[in-house]
Amino acid sequence: MDTPFNPASTSAYDAVRPAPRALATEAVHAGREDLARQGLHAPPIDLSTTYPSYDSRAEAARIDAFAADGAELDGPPVYGRLGNPTVARFETALARLEGTESAVAFASGMAALSAVLLVRSALGLRHVVAVRPLYGCSDHLLTAGLLGSEVTWTDPAGIADALRPDTGLVMVESPANPTLAEVDLRAVAHACGSVPLLVDNTFATPVLQRPAGQGARLVLHSATKYLGGHGDVMAGVVACDEELAGRLRQVRFATGGVLHPLAGYLLLRGLSTLPVRVRAASATAAELVARLTADPRVARVHYPRIGGAMVSFEVHGDPHAVIGAVRLITPAVSLGSVDTLIQHPASISHRIVDAADRRGAGVGDRLLRMSVGLEDVDDLWSDLDQALDRGRTQAPDVKGLHEALN
């Protein structure tokens, strides 16, 4: 059966898939190979929630097959929660960029992480070993045990010793949100032994780092950030082998955290400019890092060895005054958009983490996190420059600031 609308699962599609291509080429072609054959250029958006079928015996067999291994349905879709052709295009493309067999998309990054935890705990493997810092809500989900998991926090060197017979997952972020701390993914993957390693690759994107090639079995993205890239779509995705993808699809089907097809379309479009956006913003970020490092108003700059468009820095003055003073830069949580965003992690993105745990993870009260966009570097610097001046003049005495921040 010819099923051009389900690019991830058709053997016809595999037959036309060319040899491996460079990332920039995959970014604009992956998940779209069937379009020319259909006489299309832009991918169609399929908004159907259900699909007609006159052969209910065949449907029964396909649903049995999905229940067995969670493989994507062969042939026409059945129901939106079982899979959507537009979303499948994004999944195909992201898997290709991350170098994994499969990818499974969710309604948000947190829905994606929740599905991973549910897949593992359904096997009785409820223990998670994790390295701080993680994104604030990921930390919260694990620490609060909201899905019945139990977490052991450790540093990368302590992972092997922290593993237990019921450990179902090891989780790291690199570069980490918001300190941009990096871990040696190969060494961590080695320490995990047979326990799957999940790397949150939201900050690096596959343009800068492909964790699956370094031993991660699961690569998670808040696709809300760089993959979408324009601050107008919320999504999550897990890139992994087909065995785990099947389990994730089954959990997605049963728990309902599906991605909307319009979001799938926007993400596929976002991927096509991902390499260009990440490289351009990273070059601007590197220049801002140089200027911030040389600036006496700045105590410390955090920037990862692999580069990227995220910059964190600690100010001598009042971080809240800096946030209040930016005019071109948007004072907002989130990241990875075409415009530059700045926020105070201790107040927003990592507020939900206990203050002592937060500080212990290196998220200080004077730390600001900036997501560098595509604006001109001198325009960004002049905005930062005047905002840093405000931070300096409005800084209360050190004791007062300390009390204000506690």
Ligand X SMILES: *Cc1c(COP(=O)(O)O)cnc(C)c1O
Binding site for ligand X (CB under 6 A): 108-110, 135, 137-138, 173, 177, 200, 202, 222, 224-225, 234, 236
Q: Say whether 55 is catalytic.
A: no
Rounded to whole angstroms, the Cα distance separating 309 from 207 reads: 12
> Which of 62, 89, 120, 135 is the catalytic position?
135
Query: Where do the H-state alpha helices sit in 127-166?
Result: 136-143, 159-162
Rounded to whole angstroms, the Cα distance separating 161 from 136 reads: 25
Number of Cβ within 10 Å of residue 148's Cβ equals 9
Tokens linked to 119: 């897949």
Nearer to ligand X, 40 or 146 (CB): 146
Q: What are residue 282's phi and psi, to 5 degrees?
A: -65, -40
DSSP 266-325: HHHHHHHHHHHHHHHHHHHHHHHHHHHHT-TTEEEEE--TT--SEEEEEESS-HHHHHHH
Q: Say whether 164 is catalytic.
A: no
Residue 349 beta carbon to ligand X: minimum distance, rounded to whole angstroms: 7
Nearer to ligand X, 113 or 192 (CB): 113
Q: Say whether 225 is catalytic.
A: yes
Residue 227 beta carbon to ligand X: minimum distance, rounded to whole angstroms: 10
Nearer to ligand X, 28 or 348 (CB): 348
Q: Say whether 399 is catalytic.
A: no
Number of Cβ within 10 Å of residue 18's Cβ equals 8
> Which of 225, 297, 366, 369 is the catalytic position?
225
Of 243, 236, 241, 196, the residue nearest 220 (C-alpha): 236
| Bridge partner residues of 342 (DSSP) | 331, 370
Of 93, 341, 283, 308, the residue nearest 202 (C-alpha): 308
Residue 203 beta carbon to ligand X: minimum distance, rounded to whole angstroms: 6
Tokens linked to 276: 């260009």
> Which of 46, 139, 200, 318 is the catalytic position?
200
Residue 366 beta carbon to ligand X: minimum distance, rounded to whole angstroms: 21
Tokens linked to 65: 């097959």
Is there a cis peptide before residue 133, judged by omega within 30 degrees of 0? yes
Report the residue number whose CB is nearest to ligand X.
109
What residue type is assigned to position 50 of the chain?
T
Residue 228 beta carbon to ligand X: minimum distance, rounded to whole angstroms: 9
Residue 176 beta carbon to ligand X: minimum distance, rounded to whole angstroms: 8
> Which of 17, 79, 81, 357 is the catalytic position?
81
Rounded to whole angstroms, the Cα distance separating 373 from 348 reads: 20
Nearer to ligand X, 235 or 395 (CB): 235
CA distance to 57, 171, 234, 361, per residue, from 237 (Å): 32, 15, 11, 26
**Cβ contact 102:238 at 8 Å:** no
Residue 135 beta carbon to ligand X: minimum distance, rounded to whole angstroms: 3
Question: Which residues belong to the active site?
Answer: 81, 135, 200, 225
